[in-house]
Amino acid sequence: MGHVVALRALKLGDFLVTVPALKAIRRAWPDHEIMFATSGWLSPLVELTGCVDTVLPTHGMTPLDPRASHPAVAVNLHGTGPHSNAVLDALGPRRRIGHSGHGWPGPKWMDDLHERDRWCRLLTEHGIPADPGDLHLPPPPRTSPAPGAVVIHPGAAFGSKRWPVERFATVARALRAAGHRVVITGSTSDRTSPPPSPRPRTASPGAPASSTSRRSSPRPGW
């Protein structure tokens, strides 16, 4: 049995949009070990997909764990190179799945795509059927700290990927008005992320309250 290595060394939201692609990779190579190179702290969530055998804790574009060497297939779910391509090329894969450029075959990168569609399109273009709607994860085994609540995650590692705070507040107010309990996830840095909404808008009775976790987004040039 060989192994397949997929790279997506980013954060929470970036992992979640690759779930349909990871499931498609599992279906395409049911007898291979599926290795996923990503942030190590995502391991409990990655396990919920049921399609990854081994998480390779990875920080940025550093060399991957030697266990990943000489894979049957390397899948670039991180960007369009050159850095991510180089990280995977160093493994000596027999087959490479990614976007075209920097020595790799594949479809041209398209800017205006939802990330779930982007990675499913990539696999489909390489002959691997993938469904962007195949994104559901089972509930984790541990008890929720906020059972029944609606979770809003306004944070992002890159400002260009962050929806304006005022819009999150509008969504939260609407949910509260509909009778839902609303909680926010985020890191300490999210409390000071630019720019906070004026207090009257975010501190209204409909605004959310609570904390925990975080997210980011990829860059095409990686």
What residues have CB less than 8 Å from 2, skipping those under 6 apart?
A: 32, 33, 71, 72
CATH 3.40.50.2000 placement within the chain: 3-125
What are phi and psi for residue 205, nearest 5 degrees?
-55, -25
Low-confidence winner among 104-108, 163-167, 201-205 (lowest mean pLDDT): 201-205
pLDDT at 123 over 60: yes
Q: Cβ distance 29 to 1 under 8 Å? A: no
CA distance 64 to 76: 13
- Write the pLDDT tens digit of every residue in 53-91: 999 999 989 999 999 999 999 999 999 989 999 999 999
Helix %, strand %, coil % for the chain, to 5? 30, 15, 55
Give mean pLDDT, residues 201-212. Answer: 39
User: Confidence class of residue 190 from pLDDT cuts 50, 70 and 90?
Assistant: confident
Number of H helices, E strands in the chain: 7, 7
Largest CA distance in the chain: 60
Q: CA triplet 148, 145, 143: central angle to 5 degrees?
A: 85
Q: How far is CA 140 from CA 45, 47, 55, 104, 144, in A?
A: 8, 9, 17, 37, 8
pLDDT at 205 over 80: no
User: Confidence class of residue 215 from pLDDT cuts 50, 70 and 90?
Assistant: very low
pLDDT at 100 over 60: yes
Query: What pTM does this model have?
Result: 0.80
User: Confidence class of residue 208 from pLDDT cuts 50, 70 and 90?
Assistant: very low
What's the CATH architecture for 3-125? 3-Layer(aba) Sandwich (3.40)
Q: What is the DSSP string of 13-41?
A: HHHHTTHHHHHHHHHH-TTSEEEEEE-GG
CA 18 to chain CA centroid, nearest Å: 5
% of the chain surpassing 70 pLDDT: 86
Give mean pLDDT, residues 7-15. Answer: 91
Residue 113 has a CB neighbour count (10 Å cut-off) of 14
- Write the pLDDT tens digit of every residue in 18-63: 999 999 999 999 999 999 999 999 999 999 999 999 999 999 899 9
Give mean pLDDT, residues 192-202. Answer: 46
Give mean pLDDT, residues 183-196. Answer: 72
